[in-house]
A and B are shown apart, each in its own frame.
Chain A
Amino acid sequence: MDDFFSALMQHTFLQTAVATAILASIGCGVMGSYVVVKRIAFLAGGIAHSVLGGMGAAVYFGYEPLHGALPAAVAAALLIGWVRLRWRAQEDTLISALWAIGMAIGVLFIAKAPGYQADLMSYLFGNILLVPEESLWFMAALDLLLLTIVAAYHRQFLAIVFDEEFARLRGVPVGFFYLLLLVLVAVTVVLLIQVVGLILVLALLTLPAAVAGHYVHSLGRMMLIATVLGALLSVTGLALSYGPDLPAGPVIILLAGGAYVLSAIATQLLGRRRARLAATRGAWQGETRA
């Protein structure tokens, strides 16, 4: 860890990596909280994986993979959202199909990409150390877009994630805001692909928010804690992976997974202890009354 911090002072690529992790955490905390409370992790997974189609196409036609990722993510979000709104009965089958089709398209494009063979592994599992400095501006712009829209429409978003039927009765255009929410999830997925790659995105999107959800009773606080937690987990994962030269993405995910499991066990035990205390207090009151 000490090595990491002294290296951080010297090397700009490490500073860029830390900045990447922090910028990605903002999206992960805010949109991850919506994904967790609305229980649409499966939809988010479908969006994340079908992004490979766009990245593959970008590589094939000689563009930056990230430039293919954003339109592909948005297209996947709209398609999956439309499936969910229109064909509720076969939702899971259709989303699984889109999930796999997107990846298949991506693999074919990459296999046939002319010249330099792109490194498939770094798309799938991310490589935070290779993020170019220019990408930081792109990420910051996406974060700003995300925060602006969420700030403007947080009442509508809360209404549709909490109770769609009631939101519709209050005149909220549920379909529009549902699709907008999924598009913002898609933007977040693109942010997170830089850090952990598209296979592991789902974990970083949901785990910090799920841990936060164990302790708070409001969506706003959940977002705040999930953002801070996401940043802590990614930077710590980066630091731990640096010394032994491990890939950072999987280390970050293992940390997040560990934090989630520990937190889940702790809240279970706390809940049981609270119930036991309440029960003994009840019994004691019963005795004194008798």
Chain B
Amino acid sequence: MSSIIDIQGVSFSYDYSPTLSQIDLKVAEGEFLGIVGPNAGGKSTLLKLILGLLRPQSGTIRVFNRPASQASRLLGYVPQYPSFPRDFPITVEQVVRMGRLGLGQGEGRWWALWPGRGSGADGDAVRRALAEVEAGGLAKRQIGSLSGGQLQRVLLARALVGQPRVLILDEPTANIDQRMEGEIFDLLKGLNERMTILVVSHDVAFISRYVSRVACINQTLVCHQTEAVDGEVIQDLYGESVRMIAHAH
């Protein structure tokens, strides 16, 4: 099968020290890829490179056979920290509707200046996306009144409403409790039947129950395998004395 995300020899640095060096990674359609690694190991940076929000200093990233920056509308992104103020005067429904921007618009820079009107189909799509993440009752709520878990579901709906072919999530369960963590990953497992999923997490043991493959990133690609992650790899990744909890597959 051909890969839909193709990363070759990518290195990236924000300033003097390299954040990522020489990353090679291919993702095939339909995969559920977990990206794990220590804090500041470059996981979020890798996602931003794939999304085309950052450009690598060397190497190439092709997404659906295009340069990454031209493929972002085919991707749905759920950020780790929402980059908006919580007291913004906006309802859940309006937030999710933003995920419809750019749909039905042609390619190229002139099309992007076309005003474009929202259509009736947008309303239906917003309702469906909210129902899919089990947040239908939140539509009229102000965004600041949501709990961490509810906000996460809404951001997931905003990513889904644009009919992405790949869903990219950065630590989707960092700010919510464990029971909810399981619910979100069950939801992702279901979505994986119709789209490719990339999820960043620091919790190797937890996500290996759900994902089909794990990529471990700590500046370089440390491991890259379908097998269970064993103690040795974890030590490579995080250094000494990491407590492993065995679990059956």
Binding site for B on A (CB under 8 A): 37, 39, 152-153, 155-156, 158-159, 162-173, 176, 213, 216-219, 221-222
Measured as residues with beta carbon below 8 angstroms from the partner, the interface class of chain B is 20 to 34
For A37, A153, A169, A219, which residue has the most chain B Cβ atoms within 10 angstroms? A169
A sample of 14 inter-chain contacts (CB < 8 A) reads A155-B98, A156-B115, A158-B94, A163-B82, A165-B79, A166-B79, A166-B158, A167-B101, A169-B52, A169-B75, A169-B77, A170-B99, A173-B112, A218-B91
Cβ contact within 8 Å between A162 and B162 = no
B73 interfacial by beta-carbon distance below 8 Å: yes
Cβ contact within 8 Å between B102 and A171 = yes
User: Nearest chain A CB to B134's CB is how many angstroms away?
Assistant: 22
User: Nearest chain B CB to A89's CB is how many angstroms away?
Assistant: 12
Query: When A163-B98, A217-B142 are in contact, do A171 and B112 touch as well, CB less than 8 Å?
Result: yes
Query: When A169-B77, A217-B142 are in contact, do A164 and B88 touch as well, CB less than 8 Å?
Result: no
Cβ contact within 8 Å between B115 and A166 = no
Query: When A153-B115, A158-B94, A217-B89 are in contact, do A171 and B53 touch as well, CB less than 8 Å?
Result: no
Chain A residue nearest in CB terms to B97: A155
Cβ contact within 8 Å between A217 and B91 = yes
Cβ contact within 8 Å between B84 and A163 = yes
Chain A residue nearest in CB terms to B95: A162
User: Nearest chain A CB to B231's CB is how many angstroms away?
Assistant: 37
User: Nearest chain A CB to B87's CB is how many angstroms away?
Assistant: 8
- Total CB contacts across the A-B interface at under 8 A: 81
User: Nearest chain A CB to B211's CB is how many angstroms away?
Assistant: 23
Query: When A155-B101, A170-B102 are in contact, do A219 and B73 touch as well, CB less than 8 Å?
Result: no
User: Nearest chain B CB to A201's CB is how many angstroms away?
Assistant: 23
Query: When A169-B51, A170-B162, A171-B112 are in contact, do A158 and B98 touch as well, CB less than 8 Å?
Result: yes
User: Nearest chain A CB to B207's CB is how many angstroms away?
Assistant: 24
Q: Which residues of B are found within 8 Å of A221, using beta-carbon distances? A: 89
Query: When A170-B98, A217-B89 are in contact, do A165 and B162 touch as well, CB less than 8 Å?
Result: no
Cβ contact within 8 Å between B101 and A37 = no
**Looking at chain A's contact residues, is the secondary structure mostly helix, strand, loop, or mixed?**
helix
Q: Which residues of A are found within 8 Å of B53, using beta-carbon distances? A: 165, 168-169
Contact of A213 among B72, B82, B89 (CB under 8 A): B89
B109 interfacial by beta-carbon distance below 8 Å: yes
Closest 3 pairs (CB-CB, A-B): A171-B102, A170-B101, A152-B115
Give the CA-CA distance A153 to B79 in the complex, in Å. Answer: 25
Cβ contact within 8 Å between A172 and B112 = yes
Chain A residue nearest in CB terms to B111: A171
Q: Which residues of A are found within 8 Å of B109, using beta-carbon distances? A: 173
Chain B residue nearest in CB terms to A167: B101
User: Nearest chain B CB to A223's CB is how many angstroms away?
Assistant: 10
B83 interfacial by beta-carbon distance below 8 Å: yes
Give the CA-CA distance A176 to B113 in the complex, in Å. Answer: 9
Q: Which residues of A are found within 8 Å of B82, using beta-carbon distances? A: 163
Q: Which residues of A are found within 8 Å of B116, using beta-carbon distances? A: 155
Q: Which residues of A are found within 8 Å of B77, using beta-carbon distances? A: 166, 169
Cβ contact within 8 Å between B101 and A216 = no
- Starting from the known contacts A169-B75, A173-B109, 14 additional A-B residue pairs (CB-CB under 8 Å) come to A37-B89, A155-B118, A156-B101, A158-B98, A163-B98, A165-B53, A166-B98, A166-B158, A168-B72, A169-B51, A171-B102, A171-B112, A172-B112, A216-B89
Give the CA-CA distance A179 to B2 in the complex, in Å. Answer: 41
Q: Which residues of B are found within 8 Å of A165, using beta-carbon distances? A: 53, 79, 83
Chain B residue nearest in CB terms to A180: B113
B225 interfacial by beta-carbon distance below 8 Å: no
B105 interfacial by beta-carbon distance below 8 Å: yes
Chain B residue nearest in CB terms to A36: B89
For B52, B83, B91, B101, which residue has the most chain A Cβ atoms within 10 angstroms? B101
Query: When A155-B116, A170-B101, A171-B105 are in contact, do A162 and B90 touch as well, CB less than 8 Å?
Result: yes
Give the CA-CA distance A159 to B113 in the complex, in Å. Answer: 14
Q: Which residues of A are found within 8 Å of B72, using beta-carbon distances? A: 168-171
Contacting A at CB under 8 A, from B129-150, are 142
Give the CA-CA distance A152 to B116 in the complex, in Å. Answer: 8
Chain A residue nearest in CB terms to B145: A217
Give the CA-CA distance A39 to B84 in the complex, in Å. Answer: 11
